[in-house]
Amino acid sequence: MSDRTVTEAEARTLVAESIRRIVPDADVGAVPDDTPLRAEFELDSLDFLTFVETLAQRSGVEITEDDYGRLVTMHTCVGFLTGG
């Protein structure tokens, strides 16, 4: 991870925007925080990589392949981005 500080609100917005890049009409706010995002939005492997790349670019946080397991739900994504 980088030294960039991301707030919880920013992290939620970044995750939602990154999902909407792949699924434009996704209502990310209606999804419970503990719901697996890949299953909810039917993201295949390529979609997930696009999500990760977009999230890394927009947040300024380095995301390695080892981090993918931490990007499962809104809760885990926010925790990862905020350093929690």
* Mean pLDDT computed over every residue of the chain: 94
Non-local CB neighbours of 2 within 8 Å, separated by 6+ positions = 60, 61, 62
Per-residue pLDDT at 4: 65
What does the alpha-carbon distance between residue 33 and residue 56 come to, in Å, rounded to a whole number? 20
The CATH-assigned architecture of domain 8-82 is: Orthogonal Bundle (1.10)
Task: Judge whether 55 and 14 are in contact, CB under 8 Å.
Answer: yes
Question: Binning pLDDT at 50, 70 and 90, where does residue 9 land?
Answer: very high
- The half-sphere exposure of 45 on its side-chain side, counting CA atoms within 13 A, is 1
Residues 13-48: tens digit of each pLDDT: 999 999 999 999 999 999 999 999 999 999 999 999
What does the alpha-carbon distance between residue 48 and residue 79 come to, in Å, rounded to a whole number? 18
